[in-house]
Structure 1
Amino acid sequence: MIDLHGFGPALAAGTLMTIKLALTALAIGLVLGLSGALAKTSQNPILSTIGGLYSTIVRGVPELLWVLLMYFGTVNLMRALGQWLGMPQLELSAFAAGSIALGLCFGAYATEVFRGALLAIPRGHREAGQALGMSRPRIFWRIILPQMWRIALPGLGNLFMILMKDTALVSVIGLEEIMRRSQIAVTATKEPFTFFLVAAFIYLGLTVIAMTAMHFLERRAARGFVRSA
């Protein structure tokens, strides 16, 4: 039995923080990814350029730098906003900064996943919707999006696995997730192997749970479709 020296509850709290951070960043990233894909495939040159710049610039900078830039780079902006609102102590929390930074990065990669899924849908499906008198928004929500979701799910699942592990980067700005809690325990007990091994098993357990959930979602999304051999 591994002796955690009373740090078990702290690691459990860190695990909960990691889950909350990953799910918040996922929600932000899905919105950004879908918006980026629609912009990148738009016939409007301005939107297409914006979508391309977003995915290129964000993917070209390491995630750790985005976390640091989002946390430290917004200090002056938040201070100015706080003075304008009469709240001089206004600042971006480590959780908010980490969620936005990781969501931004997830969204950039998800843009390409959604774009590939969108291009994989035959043009005739849109034309069929138009022939039935459906509006463009209705065609997208009722015909295009369900098919995009089914095609994009495997890629999004892989990105979410990476996102969960990238939550460890937020420990550099003081958020007490799994890695930060583990580092505190190591400093107190001088047993790095024990606590980093426990952290590794926690991440592995979260990955297995996420993989199980993604498998369920893929099966549900594939109802009515015949899988190719």
Structure 2
Amino acid sequence: MRIVLDKLWVGCKNYTDLVGFGEGGWGRVLIAGAGVTSAIAVLGFLIGSILGSLVAWAKMSPIRLARGVADAYTTTLRGVPDLLVIYLLYFGGNSLLSTFAGFFGANGFVGMPTFATGVLAIGIISAAYQAEVLRGAFNTVAKGSIEAAHAVGMGRWLLFRRVVAPQVLHYALPGLGNTWQLALKETALISVVGLVELLRQAQMASGSTRRPFEFFITAGLLYLTITVVSSLLFRFAEYRSACRMGG
């Protein structure tokens, strides 16, 4: 039994030395990779929220063309693989930038920044899912409250700010929490265009040390930590929203 405990102690010490913050440890670069992952997910989710709101509005528009374009957007983005969207955006963006730069006399290849590509890709993909969540939440809003607001003479902007938006956000928060989780997991795909995020950093560390198990376990724990913290934040937001709605 003592031998087993000694081996476990040595194994734990070797692991903490490997992924720790001391000399020769990879802790700092892994934390930096987690920071890049979080930044891509947050910025991409915010872009998706803005774009998704516009798409949701278009899907409920009385204009047939707007509804058709919005339906085509959500159907396409939810139907094709996310990796394909990232490839198309990266290589297509590089081609457009190189062509555009050529008009001003630039020669050679001009590439898109990988971080911007990742944020934009996550935002475009997330918008398709958030649009459906927001559209469903709007359809759940009590029509009586809107009619009552019209009856007391509320303007369109005041009606949206005080009546519609709080209810839509209240009903949409659980679904938005799910789309956030999707955005967080999709960040792992951005490494294909050369961005060093958490998973890519774990791959590089495992290649350098030939100890992939330890690094991928650590990456999984960091992903789980981000997920747990963000889930708690969404639950708190849902609780505050329920309090404001009187639920």
- TM-score under structure 2 length normalisation: 0.87
The aligned counterpart of 1:46 is 65
Q: Are residue 102 (structure 1) and residue 114 (structure 2) matched? A: no
Q: Deviations over 1:142-196 (max 9, x none)?
A: 2111110010000100111121111100011111100110011011011111100
The aligned counterpart of 2:138 is 118
Return structure 1 stretches of 4+ with deviation > 4 angstroms: 84-90
Q: Identity of counterpart residues, as a percentage? A: 37
Question: What letter matches 2:88 in structure 1?
Answer: L
Contact 2:74 2:129 in 1 (8 A): yes
Distance 1:112 1:154 in 2: 13
Deviates more, 1:202-211 or 1:4-13: 4-13
Contact 1:70 1:98 in 2 (8 A): no
Contact 2:59 2:67 in 1 (8 A): yes
Distance 1:225 1:141 in 2: 14
The aligned counterpart of 1:82 is 101
Contact 1:22 1:99 in 2 (8 A): yes
Distance 2:106 2:145 in 1: 52
Contact 2:94 2:111 in 1 (8 A): yes
> How far off its partner does 1:87 sit?
6.1
The aligned counterpart of 2:3 is none
Distance 1:50 1:41 in 2: 12
> How far off its partner does 1:226 sit?
4.5
Q: 3-state DSSP class of the match of 2:245?
A: coil
Equivalent residue for 2:194, pick from 146, 167, 174: 174
- TM-score under structure 1 length normalisation: 0.93
> How far off its partner does 1:53 sit?
0.9
Equivalent residue for 1:187, pick from 187, 207, 211: 207
Q: 1:75 to 1:150 in 2, by over 3 A?
A: same
Distance 2:83 2:89 in 1: 10
The aligned counterpart of 1:132 is 152
The aligned counterpart of 1:32 is 51
Which residues of structure 2 form unaligned runs of 5+?
A: 1-11
Q: Deviations over 1:73-130 (max 9, x none)?
A: 1112112233346666653111111111111111101111001000001222222222
Pair member with larger Rg: 2
Question: What letter matches 1:164 in structure 2?
Answer: L
Q: 3-state DSSP class of the match of 1:147?
A: helix
Question: What letter matches 1:107 in structure 2?
Answer: A
Equivalent residue for 1:61, pick from 72, 80, 85: 80
The aligned counterpart of 1:7 is 26
Contact 2:199 2:219 in 1 (8 A): yes
Distance 1:67 1:96 in 2: 11
Distance 2:226 2:93 in 1: 31
> How far off its partner does 1:43 sit?
1.2
Which residues of structure 1 form unaligned runs of 5+?
A: none
Query: RMSD over aligned Cα, in angstroms?
Result: 1.6
Question: What letter matches 1:13 in structure 2?
Answer: A
Q: Are residue 144 (structure 1) and residue 164 (structure 2) matched? A: yes
